[in-house]
Amino acid sequence: MLRKFYPTYEVDSVYDIPYENLYKQGCRGIIYDIDNTLTEHDAPATAEIISLLEKLKIIGYQICLLSNNKEERVQLFNKDVQVKYIHKAGKPSVKGYERAMELMGCDKENTIFAGDQLFTDVYGGNRAGIPTYLVKPIAKHEEIQIVLKRYLEKIVLFFYHRKK
């Protein structure tokens, strides 16, 4: 039952995803959550993230941001990275993931997803049939509803790690 929430991979940050190897294996699209995955909540893109996304574009990746946040928030972040995006995505609904792949001209065979939450990000990516990368949240302080979800995530991750 808990397996539907298990990430395909778990990494410390988006910088630890093996992008070059994935590209060699045919991956062409990356869908990212924004808040606590690429930057802190409501923060603009950092110089490091801007550099990473530029590097990935040069490699040949298509990139799409998939956020449950409002358009103003997503636009603030995207101002400096200039990639495709979907706001109010309704994660974990599969529709946002499918729309992101469509925007990038990709499909579930050549797309990955990276996010920081099991019950929205990873679960949605798993439901969409794409490999999921769970990253550790960037911010130490989060909204109360996310803090509560993190306690439940710890239980799921306990069984995930035990399985491995």
pLDDT digits (tens, 9 = 90+) for 78-117: 999 999 999 999 999 999 999 999 999 999 999 999 999 9
Of all residues in the chain, the percent with pLDDT exceeding 70 is 98
Global confidence as pTM: 0.93
Q: Give per-residue pLDDT as tens, 120-153.
A: 999 999 999 999 999 999 977 667 677 778 878 8
CATH 3.40.50.2300 fits 2-163, yes or no: no
Question: 93 near 128, Cβ under 8 Å?
Answer: no
Q: What is the pLDDT of residues 15-47, one digit of tens each?
A: 999 999 999 999 999 999 999 999 998 899 999
Span 58-86, average pLDDT:
97
Sheet containing strand 29-32, edge to edge, reads 9-11, 132-135, 111-115, 29-32, 62-66, 84-86
The number of beta carbons lying within 10 Å of the beta carbon of residue 76 is 16
